[in-house]
Copies of this chain bind each other. A is one copy, B any other.
Amino acid sequence: MLDETDREIVEILLRDSRTSLKELAQAVGLSSPSVSERLRRLEERGVIRGFTVEVDAKALGFAIQAIVRIKPLPGKLHVVQKLIEETPQFGECDKVTGDDCFVARLYVRSIEELDGLLDRIADKAETSTAIVKSQPIPRRAPPLQSS
């Protein structure tokens, strides 16, 4: 899928996407235009979906994170999904197998805020909540090797 050079480029960009072409070129032993072209193709192929920044929840005052399993009551699936989408405290949300339920991350400043948010879903879904104690792996990309 990716050759060794592409993999190295992506790995460097995962660590710091502002790395200059010059530095990337040095790291992989190519010229800047070559790296630029590889980058363009990685994006074109959809391997690199985009360039972004990582924002720190704690620095913004969201000291607590929770993982919430949300099982909408019969007929409430779309209402619940809409609510999740429109509530900014929800981070990523996955719809998973088993009773059509959602697993979502929640960013809150206090237990009270968490409680308040869960209350607002209480009449639309069954929920179970786990507070995040630590993040052994805060974020990690899928493997870049096909091995």
Contacts and interface: CB of A to CB of B under 8 A. Distances in A.
Contacts of A90: 137, 140
Nearest to A91: B140
Interface in A92-120: 92-98, 101-104, 107
Nearest to A96: B130
A28 interface: no
Given A137-B92, A142-B57, A17 B97 contact: no
Contacts of A51: 16-18, 51-54
Contacts of A46: 56, 58-59
A88 interface: yes
A53 B10 contact: yes
16 contacts: A16-B51, A49-B55, A49-B56, A50-B54, A51-B54, A52-B52, A55-B144, A92-B137, A93-B136, A95-B133, A95-B134, A95-B135, A97-B131, A97-B133, A98-B130, A103-B130
Given A10-B53, A47-B60, 9 more contacts: A13-B53, A17-B17, A46-B56, A55-B141, A62-B143, A65-B94, A91-B137, A92-B140, A103-B130
Instruction: Sort A-B residue pairs by CB-CB distance and give the 8 closest, nearest first.
Output: A96-B130, A107-B142, A88-B143, A57-B142, A93-B137, A46-B59, A49-B54, A55-B141
